A and B are shown apart, each in its own frame.
Chain A
Amino acid sequence: MKIAVYSGNIPSTTFIENLINNLSSTGIKILLFGKKFREVKYNENVEILDTPDSGPALLFFIVKESFKSLFRNPALYSKALSKIFSSDKGIKNNLKELGMILPIINNEPDIFHIQWGKTLQKNPYLFELLSCRFALSLRGAHINYSPLNDKALAESYKMYFPLIDGFHAVSEAISKEAQKYGADSKKIKVIYSGVSNEFQNTKAPIKSDNSEIIKIISIGRYHWKKGYHYALDAMKMLIKNGIEFKYTIVAQGEVPEEILFMLDDDAELKSRVELKSGIPHDMLMKELSGSDILILPSVEEGIANVVLESMALGIPVICTDCGGMNEAITDGVEGFIVRVREPQMLAEKITELSKMKDELKEKIIFNAQNKIKEKFSNENLKKGFEDFYVSILNR
């Protein structure tokens, strides 16, 4: 089985890299296409077929791949040329696209697995040039809100979803969203992300001293969908209620003006909040293990990995009820769930959790860790994708 994984970038996001590593460890052959940003080490089942970005390297690459293509299937090659050069994106972009498509047709994967919905709109000719099966992953923003404000994108989903042979959904919730754009429910398989063993094998000690300052943490890039402004509202309420805490946001990217404003506007809040820019993975684990509560104040998620990782580590979680979060947590069982956009509820839950008896807390942590083992292991992920691909090929 030869699977082409296409996300555009090599290496890709953490969860796509995790997918690649898990799949290749089961013996599935993976072909990676796209633009390579830096060297990545994969096992022998992964083949990188990256396209140079521009310049003579790109031209040379195109010539080389063109020879291969002409030799293998001249009719397809000329079709590719006419498809690509008939678009009016300009010669430079046409060449880039040609450089992207040629290695894919030359390597004939069994399944072309597209990682992002927006790719469909950008590269519609893929369906005409490749005779293989198509799989699409349904992830976060691309399904949940981008098409709301982008009519053309929504139209492209309606047009191309019927051509997809199998959808991978990261949660039940996103599967439902995708069906609104015409994804066939029979073709959708929910496969949850897997939490790596390093999180599962480490256990954070349970903090029991209630007199201490509560250490609250959030992790995730800066973006409005992460709802950090709501978290800060909740922190203001904690201050008002005389609760002692420290709130740390670990996030990549530039701090948004909105967050800077809220801190600048309230000196008391500012003194209790620390912003840390993205830190390396092992440091992140340390940071997380040193915290009492992880909060996820998002308004939208596919399913947040950081919540799953916290659950595995034994850090109690309070998250908002968005995307697939309630597929990981039932309120009061494996953690806590509050409504989106309601900082008041978030503040109340933080207070409640901080006063909770150790036995109860331990019980919740125990449940959370079991849930991860059962539902969010890499073993499930591997098994899920194997079945997914086989079912697509047998369709």
Chain B
Amino acid sequence: MRIGLVLPEAPQYSETFFNLKIKGLKESGFDVILFTGNKNKKISDLEIRSAYPVKQGNIFSQVIMFVYVILQSFLFSPKRSFNLFRFEFKDGKNFNESIKSVYFNAHIISQDIDILHFGFTTMALRRENTAKSIGALMSVSLRGYDINIYPLKNPGCYKKVWENTDKVHSISEYLRSKAVRYGLSENTPYKKITPAVDPDKFPLAELRKNISSPRILTVGRLNWIKNYETAISAMKLLSDDGVNFEYTIVGDGPETERLKFAVYQYNLGDKIIFAGKKSHEEVKELMNKADIYLQPSFEEGFCVSVLEAQAVGLMCIVSDAEGLKENVIDGETGWVVPKRDFQTFKNKITEITDMSYVNRKKISDNARSRVVKDFKAEDQKKYFKEFFETMTKKP
């Protein structure tokens, strides 16, 4: 069986999730071809097709390119090109837009595949009819950005995607139920397959005996949905109590100025460290040294970082964002507190620093063993194999 995987770009070294997934699929005996947005370095033993450039170079070369690609598409894949054009036209697009769709999808429709899988739901936009026009099945993955953020400014954007999708993969129950709220049919088959963590890459860290001066950590892009302001306000309260702590924020992003200002305003510059973007190895290192991991997000699809922190055995305090509630078991593998409630975040930190080593160790071991048991890469491979093998055309 040949699976076409559509991603924004070829996964880099660090994107474990996709690397595992692709590797897993190949090991399961699938033939995988990758469709990406822009030209990338070739990953070994993987076939990659890049989309034809849009608005690149001068107008003259753009026209030449366009005519060349369209002619080629209609010459070598006449039926599929015509199908796609027809479906797009039927969906209410005009002649120009429909032709453009053929250009936009030409790198995909020239390929023989059985299943076209979109690694992000947003990748299926403007490609809603692609699978249908080549007689392939269509499936999409629901991820945090796709469901929590993108539709806010683009309400109704997935209408056609939902209509044409034969099967849905979601990284959490929550994302799927929110997708249903946004118009996905209850009847569309779906499977929850969470991200996996390689426990060997994130070995259990030694717990410190005394954490009255805790080392606290959060890893993630500095954007609004991560809601670092709540964590920073909690640190202010902690500092007011005279607690000596160190809070490290790993990542960069659009809210850097906003967050640095909050730290400046609270006069916490010596206690809160913006570490910037770090490599996987460096993150591992930081997790090894930390005591408490915070995830104050507004919302999360699932959040791999929290999973990694649990693998390391850190004391995890997360917000009650729906995705995180599936990730951490409150009171067992970590703690779940109301989102944006910095007072409760702070209280929880104090509670943990006051906890005995034995009790902390219990939580730490629980977290580790659950990750090892329930979030195995082997299982993920198996689930994806099943996911694709049992796929059928939606009635």
Contact = CB atoms under 8 A, between A and B. Distances in A.
Nearest to B181: A264
Interface string A120-164: 000000000000000000000000111011100000000000000
A341 interface: yes
Given A146-B257, A149-B257, A256 B262 contact: no
A53 B229 CA distance: 41
B224 interface: yes
A148 B149 CA distance: 28
B264 A257 contact: no
B319 interface: no
Nearest to B263: A148
B170 interface: no
Given A224-B255, A233-B340, A260-B153, A148 B261 contact: yes
Interface string B143-155: 0000011001100
A149 B224 CA distance: 17
Interface residues of A, number: 22
Nearest to A322: B265
Contacts of B152: 257, 260-261, 264
B277 interface: no
B260 A148 contact: yes
B258 A224 contact: yes
B255 to A, nearest CB: 7
A261 B298 contact: yes
B233 interface: yes
A257 B262 contact: no
A299 interface: yes
B264 A261 contact: no
Contacts of A233: 340
Interface of B is mostly: helix
B366 interface: no
Given A149-B261, A341-B262, 16 more contacts: A145-B257, A145-B260, A146-B257, A224-B258, A225-B258, A233-B340, A257-B224, A258-B225, A258-B298, A260-B153, A261-B148, A261-B149, A261-B298, A264-B152, A299-B262, A341-B233
A264 B224 CA distance: 15
B256 interface: yes
B261 A300 contact: yes
Contacts of A224: 224, 255, 258
A264 B225 CA distance: 13
B353 to A, nearest CB: 23
A381 to B, nearest CB: 28
A340 interface: yes
A257 B261 contact: no
Interface of A: 144-146, 148-150, 224-225, 233, 254, 256-258, 260-262, 264-265, 299-300, 340-341
Interface in B269-295: none
A299 B265 contact: yes
Interface of B: 148-149, 152-153, 224-225, 229, 233, 255-258, 260-262, 264-265, 298-299, 340
Contact of B153 (A225, A257, A341): A257
User: Most chain-B Cβ atoms within 10 A of its Cβ — which of A146, A254, A341?
Assistant: A341
B229 A341 contact: yes
A145 B224 contact: no
Contacts of B255: 224
Contacts of A150: 257
What 5 A-B pairs are tightest by C-beta distance, nearest first? A145-B261, A149-B257, A260-B152, A258-B224, A224-B258
B149 A257 contact: yes
A148 B224 contact: no
Contacts of A299: 261-262, 265
Contact of B299 (A144, A149, A260, A261): A261
Contacts of A341: 229, 233, 262
A224 B255 CA distance: 9
Given A261-B148, A261-B298, A261-B299, A148 B264 contact: yes
Contacts of A261: 148-149, 152, 224-225, 298-299
Contacts of A264: 152
Contacts of B299: 261, 265
16 contacts: A145-B261, A146-B257, A148-B257, A148-B260, A149-B256, A149-B257, A150-B257, A224-B258, A233-B340, A257-B224, A261-B148, A265-B298, A265-B299, A299-B262, A299-B265, A300-B261
Contacts of A146: 257
B264 A145 contact: yes
Contacts of A256: 224
A23 to B, nearest CB: 32
A251 to B, nearest CB: 16
A300 B299 CA distance: 26
Contacts of A145: 257, 260-261, 264
Nearest to B274: A149
